[in-house]
A and B are shown apart, each in its own frame.
Chain A
Amino acid sequence: DGGITQSPKYLFRKEGQNVTLSCEQNLNHDAMYWYRQDPGQGLRLIYYSQIVNDFQKGDIAEGYSVSREKKESFPLTVTSAQKNPTAFYLCASRRGLDYIGADTQYFGPGTRLTVL
């Protein structure tokens, strides 16, 4: 089955540590996104990538970093510079604009990060 996988589902981090959240998709989608979700708030865009080796900052990129070395993978690193990293993180992907249905984002199941 095609889809987006995120791992781990739950992640605990000590203050001062960097952690990396995994996002993999086998949908052959070109674009990938990382969102942060806090209770009572909508989704806020952290980073997005249109193609391999290219990515752009979203609205709240400070304290985060990403890479896009493969089309299928878009890992997110939460660095120690992120002051309040406890949140639910969602990865999404979307087809290239030449395809029907390119307007729809597909989401992974999410990773809940807790800083201890």
Chain B
Amino acid sequence: AQSVTQLGSHVSVSEGALVLLRCNYSSSVPPYLFWYVQYPNQGLQLLLKYTTGATLVKGINGFEAEFKKSETSFHLTKPSAHMSDAAEYFCAVSASPMKTSYDKVIFGPGTSLSVIP
């Protein structure tokens, strides 16, 4: 069974400051890990994902995340926040490898990011 926790339902940062959104997972098998972003009244868009290989993953819009197996974490960071980064962010986990399409993706509760001018 898999689960995801996101520490902090709301995070506020100043424009230009570091963005750090926390994600911890639980998985009995090697995980695939994802970060999605959702703007108001829109669907989810993939920011980045970890499947295999390099543990530091770079995504779109300057975001990156590091898979730390020992800490069961996949925190999302961005060096300098921009006003356009204000959105809801979801961390997700699924089984690796996906043996069937019935392997579900489990989503965390989300973190709402506010950027203060």
Interface positions of A (Cβ within 8 A of B): 4, 6, 30-31, 35, 40-43, 45, 48, 50, 56, 58, 88, 90, 92, 94, 96-97, 102-110, 112
In the complex, A106 Cα to B107 Cα: how many Å?
14
B101 near A96 with CB under 8 A, answer: yes
Secondary structure of the B side of the interface? loop
In the complex, A112 Cα to B46 Cα: how many Å?
21
Residues of B within 8 A of A6 (CB): 43
On whether A42 and B108 interact (CB within 8 A), knowing A103-B49, A103-B51, A109-B43, the answer reads yes
Between-chain CB contacts (< 8 Å), 14 pairs: A40-B110, A42-B4, A42-B90, A42-B107, A43-B90, A43-B107, A48-B104, A58-B104, A103-B49, A103-B98, A104-B34, A105-B105, A107-B45, A110-B41
Residues of A within 8 A of B108 (CB): 42
Interface positions of B (Cβ within 8 A of A): 4, 9, 32, 34, 36, 41-46, 49, 51, 90, 94, 96, 98-102, 104-105, 107-110
Residues of B within 8 A of A103 (CB): 32, 49, 51, 94, 96, 98
In the complex, A90 Cα to B92 Cα: how many Å?
15
Residues of A within 8 A of B105 (CB): 105
Task: Knowing that A42-B109, A94-B101, A103-B96 touch, tell me 18 more A-B residue pairs with CB under 8 angstroms.
Answer: A6-B43, A30-B101, A41-B109, A42-B90, A42-B108, A42-B110, A43-B90, A43-B107, A48-B101, A50-B100, A58-B104, A88-B41, A97-B99, A103-B32, A103-B51, A103-B98, A106-B46, A109-B43
